[in-house]
Amino acid sequence: MTGLSRAGRKRLTAAVTLETSKEAGQVEKAAQTSLLPRSKRSARFWWASIIQGSGATALTALIVLPNIQPSLAQVMTNGGSAGEWLALGYVLYVTIGVLAVGLTALFYHHLEVAMNKPVRGFANYLAGLHLILMNVGVAAVCGILIYGGYFGGAEMLPTSGGGLELAKAVRLLDGLVAPASYALVVAAIGVLCGGLCFLATYLQK
């Protein structure tokens, strides 16, 4: 440094300062990239999927337990059309209540984090309705199908399997058609709110 002129020292100092600033900017950019913002809506749907998955796991355990008479598996296979209600309720609960809710969490993450489109304003209320109505509606309609399928199917079993009265099973299932339809409408409204939320957030500036 002693052998450099004053102008040379100034140029060297400016070059070092510039290089330091570039390195600091790169470090800050890397930190921002590694610490991506979180999506609250995505986290909420993940938790909902985990809770629904716990319910599906418990239901699966009930299907394979041998000490329930008549067993759920027996009703599914030999319970006639009511047994089909039980099987349908179980399949829908796993595919929609668990998998579709988890997939919805990925949509919210992509929207808010990857696309940097935060949900705000009125869309925030739509997201809340999406979360509540979809999960409650799906759980309700699947629960009704499983309940009616099991008890109705148990009545449709052959007498040796514990079945008693076909007419009783028909009355039970007839009484559950309307509640299942209402629950399905609730779930559909929730999904519609979610679609409107995505659209409104995507189009916002």
One domain, residues 145 and 71: yes
One domain, residues 28 and 86: no
d(CA 90, CA 201) in angstroms, rounded, equals 34
Q: In the chain, how many H helices and how many E strands?
A: 7, 0
Q: In degrees rounded to 5, what are phi and psi of residue 161?
A: -95, 5
d(CA 92, CA 180) in angstroms, rounded, equals 13
Contact 73, 136 (CB under 8 A): no
One domain, residues 80 and 30: no
- pLDDT tens for the chain, 205 residues long, are 455 465 555 555 555 454 555 555 554 554 444 344 678 899 999 999 999 999 999 998 888 877 777 778 778 777 677 788 888 999 999 999 999 999 999 999 999 998 889 999 999 999 999 999 999 999 999 999 999 988 888 887 765 444 556 777 788 888 999 999 999 999 999 999 999 999 999 988 7
Structural domain tally of the chain?
2
One domain, residues 14 and 79: no
One domain, residues 106 and 183: yes
pLDDT at residue number 159: 58
One domain, residues 178 and 77: yes
One domain, residues 15 and 44: no
One domain, residues 93 and 9: no
One domain, residues 43 and 82: yes
Domain that holds residue 100: 38-203
One domain, residues 158 and 94: yes
